[in-house]
Amino acid sequence: MKGMKEVYIPKYFSRFDAIIKKNGEGGWLVGDNVTWTDLFVANTSSTIIHIAGLHEDMESKYSHLNKMIQQVFALPQIAKWIENRPQTMF
């Protein structure tokens, strides 16, 4: 976990954050609309954030990535699934 928090999470979350920032106002990783890439990165990042306890760091360190994750989870079909899905550790 130490290696993840000190090396891998900063390395990759910073890259995703920079790509989203560079891509502009839409807040997506690729293009102007949500893609499978956004869904995958949002879901995987959310799991990592939960496991590593990084909720408080997201807005200050990775604000663009954090916004993209929130946008993905706010999509109507995904928001509905989250509301009704079984509750698990992940």
Gap between the Cα atoms of 27 and 29, Å rounded: 7
Chain center to CA of 11 = 14
What residue ranges of the chain have pLDDT lower than 50?
A: none
* Measured distance CA(76)–CA(69) in Å, rounded: 14
Strands (E) located in the chain: none
pTM of the model: 0.87
pLDDT at 4 (0 to 100): 84
How high is the pLDDT of residue 26? 84
Quick one: pLDDT at residue 80?
96
Give per-residue burial for 24-34: e unless 16+ CB within 10 Å, then b: eeebbbeeeeb
- Domains of the chain, CATH where assigned: 2-84 (1.20.1050.10)
Q: What is the pLDDT of residues 13-39, one digit of tens each?
A: 999 999 999 998 889 999 889 999 999
Angle at 78 between CA 39 and CA 20, to 5 degrees: 35
